[in-house]
Structure 1
Amino acid sequence: MKLSPLTRRRWENFKTKKRGYFSFWIISTLMVLSLFAEFLANDKPVIMAYEGEIYLPVLRTYSESTFGGVFETEADYRSESVQHLIEDGDGWMLWPPIPYSFDTIDWNTEGAVPEAPSARHWLGTDDIGRDVTARIIYGFRLSVIFGLILTFLSALIGITVGATQGYFGGLVDLIGQRVVEIWAGLPVLFLIIILTSLFEPNPLALLLVLLLFNWMALVAVVRAEFLRTRNFDYVDAAKALGEKDFVIMWKYILPNAMVATLTFLPFLVSGSITTLTSLDFLGFGLPAGHPSLGELLAQGKAN
């Protein structure tokens, strides 16, 4: 892919800022690795062989009967009986670096749980014997994906509301601002806790609840940019040519407004992740069993 001279110049300028440049690569590497969490931490082999056939348990589900067993249920590759069946079929298994998934309970820990870090569990186990390293990897992925989706939806709503207020102004802007100010004045944390306690929490419901309040962050920035830009000559020229309001907003004004908007997006992402982690820490976030950074923090505090 060929970059424009302007993009190359911006990239070279970004590389001179060492702290930001190395932070970018560290975060990007962690995000990419977390996308392949199943290949890094799993209680299933990455690849295996049985009677000359190759199997990919990470990608497909195989019953125990596939390997000569009796049951039609999914094979438990950690059980000695399944391992003996595979060995009898001249098979082998290649395990991931961490042979535990986020919900795998190790019933063979050497001491009481939570267990201290060891060669078996790099960061120890939690209070029911699950591997902490595996839960961090899966929890990081869940938090990042949740934060990115929440940020995207919040930006979509916030940009739409701010653009509408700033472009049309007048009564539309007046009513919109009063609604935003009233909505922003609500005790957000208490309302989120109340709403999440009314129903059984799940990722989608939690996303919708947080979306009710998260969209306001970009409204003021987009509104200010549209108020400033709507009276420029090129906007008047577009109106004189008969362009529709939506086309003018989308094609002519929004690209200029995005410069200021993009500077807020990293803070919106980090804020979304922090909010999810805080709710999980307080016990009002994701349901029990989900890999959660906040739940790990709560266990660390308790133990």
Structure 2
Amino acid sequence: MDTSQIQTTNVSTVNNRTGLKSRNKVFKVLRTYPMILVGGLMVFTLLLIAIFAPLIATHNPITQYPTGISDIGAPKGPNSEFIFGADSIGRDVFSRVIYGTRVSLEVGIFASLISLFIGVTLGVVSGYFGKWVDMVIMRITDTMLAFPFLLFVIALVAVLKPSITNVFIAIGVLGWAMMTRIVRGEVLKVKELEYVQSAKALGASNFVIIFKEILPNVVAPVIVMGTLLVGQNIMLEAALSFLGIGIQPPTASWGNMLQDGMNTYQIAPWLIYLPGFALLWATLGFNLLGDGLRDWLDPTVGN
């Protein structure tokens, strides 16, 4: 065997050992923190449903089917054609819930990204520069936290006019305050550490210090808070749609499906069962995942 073959074999062996160690570490984390596994599987299921909605749905979610209404004008219950029944105007409940997953994840994820961007930016600037910059940003943050969040979002959505884009913009733009406080607190601790002081002594610019020394060390609470925010924002979108100022019909949303079902739940209870369960599944999944990540990434917990 020549030298090149020996080197190739050695590299392959090292790669296999590294991959095995990585897999063992992942399995150890999942065994130690089962909430990450359970929450991750629940969230992954939602992502698959959203991606493959056209393949999973049995009907068009906005088409009104005459066969979905009984002879007396009431929605038909679960049957061979509509496995979870039809709504008050003959639309397939199952297909609407499937497509509603896309709406909920879109609003939840994009609104959270907006909040994270604003919150992390303001938190880092406030904590790192301090003095009057910190005072101004914190007073604005206190003002945002003083307002009832739901009422604030309702007012902004009413001004912007209800739509998917405006809903996640409104939620995201108004949901950054708590993230700002969390990041600011982490930055205040990190910037006093020796390696940050060393970087300053060596003449590193503020930009380099923030992006190379501080941000990587505050990413853990950002990941946790971002995960929890998605579940919170999904619930908030459902609340807005339930009140009639969120996602507007005929677009499928779990919130407007629940609102529609409330009018006929005594004779057609299936109209609220499936969207209610979907909303519970989504919020519980993201909360479990966020709690598991918090326990894993928390430096005060032994890993």
Category of TM-score, reference length = shorter chain: 0.7 to 0.9
Flag the 1:35–1:179 CA change in 2: closer, same or farther, 3 A.
Answer: same
Deviations 1:81-101 (A, max 9, x none): xxxxxxxxxxxxxxxxx1x11
1:285 match: 246
2:299 match: none
Q: Are 2:133 and 1:117 aligned? A: no
Q: Could you tell me how far 1:113 is from its partner in structure 2?
A: 3.6
Flag the 1:231–1:5 CA change in 2: closer, same or farther, 3 A.
Answer: farther
Deviations 1:10-42 (A, max 9, x none): 54222344454233223202311221111222x
Q: Could you tell me how far 1:242 is from its partner in structure 2?
A: 2.0
Residue range with higher mean Cα deviation, 250-259 or 194-203: 194-203
2:53 match: 37
Flag the 1:211–1:27 CA change in 2: closer, same or farther, 3 A.
Answer: closer
2:165 match: 204
Query: Contact 1:184–1:213 (CA<8 Å) still a contact in 2?
Result: no
Return the match for 1:22 from 38, 44, 47.
38
CA–CA separation in structure 1 for the residues paired with 2:27 and 2:228:
21
Structure 1 unaligned runs (5+)? 42-97
Structure 2 counterpart SS, 1:290: coil
CA–CA separation in structure 2 for the residues paired with 1:234 and 1:4:
33
Q: Could you tell me how far 1:261 is from its partner in structure 2?
A: 2.2
| Amino acid in structure 1 at the alignment position of 2:29 | N
RMSD (Å) for aligned C-alpha atoms = 2.0
CA–CA separation in structure 2 for the residues paired with 1:213 and 1:4:
44
CA–CA separation in structure 1 for the residues paired with 2:213 and 2:261:
51
2:64 match: 105
Deviations 1:31-78 (A, max 9, x none): 11221111222xxxxxxxxxxxxxxxxxxxxxxxxxxxxxxxxxxxxx
Query: Contact 1:113–1:125 (CA<8 Å) still a contact in 2?
Result: no
1:248 match: 209
Structure 1 counterpart SS, 2:161: coil
| Amino acid in structure 1 at the alignment position of 2:156 | L
TM score, norm. by length of structure 1: 0.75
Residue range with higher mean Cα deviation, 291-300 or 182-191: 182-191
Query: Contact 2:191–2:214 (CA<8 Å) still a contact in 1?
Result: yes
Query: Contact 1:124–1:132 (CA<8 Å) still a contact in 2?
Result: yes
1:135 match: 96
| Amino acid in structure 2 at the alignment position of 1:198 | V
Flag the 1:258–1:278 CA change in 2: closer, same or farther, 3 A.
Answer: same
Tell me the number of residue pairs that the alignment of Structure 1 and Structure 2 aligns: 246
TM score, norm. by length of structure 2: 0.75
Highest CA radius of gyration, 1 or 2?
1
Q: Could you tell me how far 1:194 is from its partner in structure 2?
A: 2.5
| Amino acid in structure 1 at the alignment position of 2:231 | S
The structure showing larger relative contact order (alpha-carbon pairs under 8 Å, at least 6 residues apart) is: 2
Query: Contact 1:150–1:272 (CA<8 Å) still a contact in 2?
Result: yes
2:286 match: none
Flag the 1:194–1:221 CA change in 2: closer, same or farther, 3 A.
Answer: closer
Structure 2 unaligned runs (5+)? 1-14, 265-303
Q: Are 2:218 and 1:257 aligned? A: yes
Q: Are 2:138 and 1:177 aligned? A: yes
Larger helix share, 1 or 2 = 2
Flag the 1:199–1:148 CA change in 2: closer, same or farther, 3 A.
Answer: closer
CA–CA separation in structure 2 for the residues paired with 1:169 and 1:29:
43
Deviations 1:223-271 (A, max 9, x none): 0111011111111111122221111111111111112222222211101
2:296 match: none
1:161 match: 122
Structure 2 counterpart SS, 1:108: helix
| Amino acid in structure 2 at the alignment position of 1:109 | G
Flag the 1:29–1:189 CA change in 2: closer, same or farther, 3 A.
Answer: closer
Q: Are 2:247 and 1:294 aligned? A: no
CA–CA separation in structure 1 for the residues paired with 2:193 and 2:116:
25
Structure 2 counterpart SS, 1:288: coil
CA–CA separation in structure 2 for the residues paired with 1:109 and 1:148:
33
